[in-house]
A = this chain, B = another copy of it.
Amino acid sequence: MIAQHYVDMLGGKSVIRELAEWSAARGAEIGYENVFDYSLGNPSVPCPPQFTVAMLRLLQTQEPVALHGYSPTLTIPSVRAAVAENLNARFGMDYTAGHIFMTAGAAGAIAHALRCVAVPGQEVLTFAPYFPEYKPYAEGAGLALRVVPPCVQDFQIDFDAFEAMLSPNTAAVLINTPNNPSGIAYSPETLRRLADALRAASARFGHHIFLISDEPYREIVFGGACQQHPAAYYDDTLTCYSFSKSLSLPGERIGYVAANPRCEQAGLIVPMCGQISRGTGHNCPASIIQLAVAECLDTTSDLGVYERNMELLYAELVRLGFTVVKPGGTFYIFPKALEDDAVAFCRKAQAYDLALVPGDTFGCPGYFRMAYCIDTEKVRRSFAALERFVREEYGAR
């Protein structure tokens, strides 16, 4: 008998996906180049040539039985060692292969990390605005996701609200920096205060509260800012990474969990991930993809377009009178809508062929997300539509 629980989930359609579908349908009518589709966070630049070269070389030179053979349960040792070395060189850490577990993107990484450090019935805290898939990730592991209200002046952390929500039932705190949808990177000061608060709460409640740090946008930071590694601030951290954005490989499903070598039972985390995989049916990412990304750890796609788009869009939004915090990274910007109801605001924008995602989707009503992983030329062309939308619907500002 089919499981009603999953049937019921079918009702809750993704607002982002619906907007993307609307954009595609509208594009079929008026030409997709005329739809200003800011809905989807899908990389717009190709993978670096090194990835393609690595794939071709593996296919042309490696013995197929070995190349396409089973990964070891804990994923490919040479790949894990390469990831560890890369993180150590960049962030002054001391990972070994034993702390790295390759996963199917950040989704796979978070699925493993949550099951490693929380048991069904416990709570995971995250901060609004937050990536909406966190909810099914948590619920799929039998956990309740509780959302700390946003700190809208700068999208850092409202520590009073956060500390009030920590409880003996808090197993983990899930952060995403730089953040989808706000584009904001946590400051070193925020990461220090967060670590202090977690250490104090762990001591108070008598168990290690883990930090799960979701970092798919780590490589996309603006203004020459340093890339952050939250694990460097707090020992009980599991870092969840994806190469989807940095190497423009979202379909190849490749990322990792890195267990801080100083976390509770650091040596057990990766073997536990191997056990978790058995129950979820997610036994290692594709071998050839593991091997190819291991050769691309020092490179990225040409990510400069995202910063150029952000600067243009930020200036235009400010010019049009929007309240907006300037992104420190990612390919998202999260302005305040021009009316309290961001859903209505975004619906009106569709009449101007603008696909904007209401902040309600991210636990932050009254704001909206624009994913500017699109051609810069299209960003520029969207300004006339944006201006018309603002003037006609909301008057001179």
Contacts and interface: CB of A to CB of B under 8 A. Distances in A.
Contacts of A287: 251-252
A141 interface: yes
Contact of A284 (B71, B253, B264): B253
Contacts of A139: 279
Interface in A101-133: 103-105, 107-112, 115-119, 133
Contact of A136 (B65, B278, B285): B278
B60 A248 contact: no
B108 A2 contact: no
A137 interface: yes
Contact of A119 (B5, B52, B64): B5
A225 interface: no
A116 B56 CA distance: 38
Contacts of A1: 117, 171, 207-210, 264
Contacts of A272: 2-3, 6-7, 9-10
A2 B251 contact: no
Nearest to A288: B252
B68 A250 contact: yes
A283 interface: yes
Nearest to A65: B46
A77 interface: no
A248 B115 contact: no
20 contacts: A1-B117, A1-B208, A2-B116, A6-B116, A7-B268, A17-B73, A42-B69, A42-B70, A46-B63, A56-B59, A104-B283, A107-B278, A107-B282, A108-B281, A111-B282, A136-B279, A139-B279, A252-B286, A280-B280, A289-B289
